[in-house]
Amino acid sequence: MQITEIPGIGTARAKLLANVHTVEDLVNYFPRNYVDRTQIKTISSLDVDVVQTIKATIVQGADNSVVKGKNITKLLLSDEGGSLEIVWFGRAYLKHVFKEGETYIFTGKVRENFYKLQMESPEYEKIDELQTDSVNSGRIVPLYTLPKGISQKMFRKWMKIALDMVSDKETVTLPVTHLMPRVEAIKNIHFPTSNEAFYAARHRLVFEEFFFMQLALSKLKAADFPGVVIDCRNLSNFFLPFTLTDSQKAVIEDIKKDLHSGKCMNRLVQGDVGSGKTVVAAIAAYFAVSAGYKVAIMAPTEVLARQHLKQFRIFFQGVKISLLVGSLLEREKRAIYEAIAADEPQIIIGTHALIQEKPIFNKLALVITDEQHRFGVKQRASLSNKGIYPHTMIMTATPIPRTLALILYGDMDISTIKSMPPNRQPIQTFCVNSAYRPRIMVFIEKQVALGNQVYIICPAIEDAEGINAVITYTKVLQNALPHIPITLIHGKLKNKDEIMTDFAAGKYSVLVATTVIEVGVDVPKANLIIIENAERFGLAQLHQLRGRVGRGSVQSYCILITDSKNAQTLERMRALESTTDGFVLSEFDLKRRGPGDFFGLRQHGLPEFKIANLYTDLEILKEVQATLKT
């Protein structure tokens, strides 16, 4: 049934309600918030500057006047204990609404005006309407997000009519029985009969929303693409400089099965910073290459692409690997594209943009993406060749609690590298205030003298009030420690790659940086990271930054410097001091602040919910996931 069937909604108003076409749409348009108007006050007990509800009788009919070109309507009311004036601005028509002797409910903000109490522009409802079935007062009242030209009051009235039209027949069935029936839930989400009814209604609707989303995701997963069958050989031609951890082996087994299955692999490999994801990617690539196929590795930055190249060159012998990055000269790029066209390189490593620019791979069987770049069906199709889709694997260092991963990556299979390579000493983390800086200087000198390298992170590039900035900090440090080679890096510099490469090669002992160094960079000799104004960074970011050290066998340190006394900030610092486990930290953050902080939800393409909230409704989400499992 169209909404125009509802009295009061003509074509003009229907047009304003752009996405609401039918009565069904209307009742599924949920309130954004509620106000509790169950409390009716007497005029003598009103407080100033608060929105309150009164029940009062009109003493004198409305009076219109024009002051400075503005139309003012006034109305005088009284109840047992007092009297009150009401004012509206620019609503002359109200003069004809109110009649002496009638009783109304008014809800609005009360102000003191020349020692007189006044209620400004209240919402009102006539008492006999109220007695039948009030929608605006004397109850918990819904507030909607509405377009200009439609008032809350109008909308509530239509909603009430629409809800009365809804039949009691259940339209949505869920495989559980403990929830409030849908129709009752819909009625109570708009006009709750009590607090309890509201919570039960909300529970039902949140459950439903999570349920269908999870179901849709698992269907996506089931809709398999055909994939090349790859026989996974042993690693006889692969140079492994260390023994794989059991965790790495388990993930490789998952990958082997996928590659051999005849269906397209669509796998997320999760592993905390430093857990050793690169070698897993390299082994997957090895399987494809030894079966005669091509592999593309996509990195988010050029620094990371180059780093992968370096590592891959160690792992692989006799395999032609090419690098495709933005800083190459045009003719170099052309040469690589030509080589690709001639089927020369077996592995192409590059940045996302460049690899996707010219998808001309023959026999491309595997695409590996590093660091949380989601790979949509469309992109996959763009890399396909004659309808054969490549296997895809995404590596991410963001530790996502399982519950959330099921939503973010519900269409993918997930493998997790659970443990760290052996002989790693956990990074020692300390949070101190700036009074410790002289001692930290001594500590920097000591580490450098031992042949180690140091990162110092500042939140700003140039001077800003109360914030440490890379440029000034570097000058101060260079003056204080003239015998130590110190350099800086930040996003505005053109030669970032060069600086990073030089630092990795040991040309500098100290690198003062902004968060540009955050993702994936591997400098095993760096064993100390100092983070200035640590209060400015979120938990996830601090954890990622800390992951820049602790990659070698020597003891590593992370020093968080902050003068903040904010309890939440200090709690965050304590959490970092107490564990280096990213999963523990992400759970901590999820419980405390919701998923937004840790994961940067938009970036992950998290679905938007109509009513559910991932943070507060985590328990309901778990309930849904448990239901779907059985």
Interface mask (CB under 6 A) for ligand ADP, residues 392-421, using x and -? -----x-----------------------x
Tell the smallest beta-carbon distance from residue 269 to ligand ADP (Å). Answer: 9
Among 276, 345, 410, 582, binds ligand ADP (CB under 6 A): 276
Which segment (103-111, 221-229, 271-279, 606-614) binds ligand ADP by CB under 6 A? 271-279
- Shortest distance (Å) from residue 420 CB to ligand ADP: 8
| Distance, CA of 284 to CA of 253 (rounded, Å) | 10
Q: Where are the alpha helices (DSSP H) in 93-151?
A: 127-133
Residue found under tokens 């009401």: 86
Least gap, CB of 233 to Mg ion (angstroms): 25
If the CB atoms of residues 350 and 520 are measured against ligand ADP, the closer one turns out to be 520
State the binding partner of 273 from Mg ion, ligand ADP, none, CB within 5 to 8 A by kind.
ligand ADP
Least Å from the CB of residue 243 to ligand ADP: 6
* Shortest spacing between CB 500 and Mg ion, in angstroms: 14
CA dist 102 and 88 (Å) reads 18
**Residue closest to Mg ion, measured at CB:** 520
Using CA atoms, how far apart are residues 144 and 612, in angstroms rounded to an integer? Answer: 16
Closest approach of ligand ADP to the CB of residue 423, in Å? 7
Given the complex with ligand ADP, which of 142 and 582 has the nearer CB atom?
582
Q: Are 470 and 490 in contact (CB under 8 A)?
A: yes
Among 52, 275, 379, 447, binds ligand ADP (CB under 6 A): 275
Q: Which is nearer to Mg ion, 325 or 488 (CB)?
A: 325
Least spacing, CB of residue 307 vs Mg ion, in Å: 8
Closest CA to 54 of 98, 106, 99: 106
Nearest approach, Cβ of residue 224 and ligand ADP (Å): 28
Answer yes or no whether residue 520 interacts with Mg ion by CB under 5 A. Answer: yes
Q: What is the DSSP letter of 549?
A: S
Candidates 53, 278, 541, 580; binder of ligand ADP (CB under 6 A) is 278
Smaller CB separation from ligand ADP, 275 or 556: 275
Report the nearest approach of ligand ADP to the CB of residue 244 (Å). 5
529 binds ligand ADP (CB under 6 A): no
Distance CA 225, CA 263 (A): 6
* Per CB under 5 A, 582 contacts Mg ion: no
How many residues lie near ligand ADP (CB under 6 A)? Answer: 19
For residues 604 and 268, what is the distance between their CA atoms, to the nearest angstrom?
13
3-class state of residue 120 by DSSP? strand
Q: How far is the CB of 313 from ligand ADP (least distance, A)?
A: 13
Interacting partner of 582 out of ligand ADP, Mg ion, none (Cβ under 5 to 8 A depending on kind): none
Nearer to ligand ADP, 235 or 471 (CB): 235
How does DSSP classify residue 96?
Answer: G
Q: 214 or 453, CB closer to ligand ADP?
A: 453
Confirm or reject binding of residue 277 to ligand ADP (CB under 6 A): yes
How far apart CA 526 and CA 132 sit, in angstroms, is: 74
The span from the CA of 165 to the CA of 172, in Å, is: 17
Interactions with Mg ion, residue window 217-276 (CB under 5 A): none
Cβ–Cβ < 8 Å for 102, 129: no
Letter string b/e over residues 7-35, b meaning 16 or more CB atoms within 10 A of that residue's CB: eebeeebeeebeebeebeebbebbbeebb
CB closer to Mg ion out of 520 and 582 = 520
Residue 484 is a binding residue for ligand ADP (CB under 6 A): no
> Of 109-117, 275-283, 453-461, 476-484, which segment contacts ligand ADP by CB under 6 A?
275-283
Q: Which residue's CB comes closest to ligand ADP? A: 276
Decide whether 251 or 340 has the Cβ nearer to ligand ADP: 251
Rounded Cα distance, 290 and 286, in Å: 6
For residue 50, with 0-12 CB atoms within 10 Å meaning exposed, 13-18 middle and 19 or more buried, which class applies? exposed
Cα separations in angstroms, 197 against 201, 229, 312, 609, 627: 6, 55, 60, 21, 23
Beta-ladder partners of 64: 73
Q: For residue 596, which amino acid is it?
A: G
Question: Which of 70, 127, 72 is closest to 103 using CA atoms?
Answer: 127
Of 270-278, 382-390, 568-576, 599-607, the window that binds ligand ADP (rule: CB under 6 A) is: 270-278
Give min distance, CB of 421 to ligand ADP, in A. Answer: 3
327, 352 contact by CB (below 8 A): no
Only one of the segments 57-65, 289-297, 442-450, 514-522 lies at the binding site for Mg ion (rule: CB under 5 A); that segment is 514-522
**Piece in contact with ligand ADP (CB under 6 A), picked from 259-267, 276-284, 553-561, 618-626:** 276-284
Q: Which is nearer to Mg ion, 399 or 520 (CB)?
A: 520
Residue among 457, 382, 431 nearest 561 (CA): 431
Query: Are 486 and 474 within 8 A, CB to CB?
Result: yes
User: Cα 107 to the chain's mean position, in Å?
Assistant: 38
Q: Least distance (Å) from Mg ion to the CB of residue 241?
A: 16
CA 204 to chain centre: 24
Helices (H) and strands (E) in the chain, counts: 22, 21
Q: If binding means CB under 5 A, how many residues of this protein chain bind Mg ion?
A: 1
Coil, strand or helix: which one is 104?
A: strand
Select the residue interacting with ligand ADP from 125, 209, 497, 522 (CB under 6 A).
Answer: 522
Find which of Mg ion, ligand ADP, none residue 258 binds, CB within 5 to 8 Å per kind.
none
Buried-state track 586-597, b at ≥16 Cβ within 10 A, e below 16: bbbbbeeebbeb
**Should residue 273 be labelled a site residue for ligand ADP when binding is judged by CB under 6 A?**
yes
Of the candidates 305, 491, 390, 73, the one whose C-alpha atom is nearest the C-alpha of residue 499 is 491
Q: Which is nearer to Mg ion, 108 or 520 (CB)?
A: 520
Cα dihedral angle (63, 69, 70, 76), rounded to 10 degrees?
-20
User: By rule CB under 6 A, what string of x and - marks binding of each residue 231-250 to ligand ADP?
Assistant: -----------xxxx--x--
If you count them, how many residues does the chain have?
Answer: 630
From the list Mg ion, ligand ADP, none, pick the one residue 429 interacts with, judged by a Cβ distance below 5 to 8 Å according to partner type. Answer: none
Restricting to residues 341-400, name those near ligand ADP by CB under 6 A.
397
Cα separation of 40 and 44, whole Å? 12
Residues that bind Mg ion (CB under 5 A): 520
Which residues contact ligand ADP (rule: CB under 6 A)? 242-245, 248, 271, 273-279, 397, 421, 520, 522, 524, 551
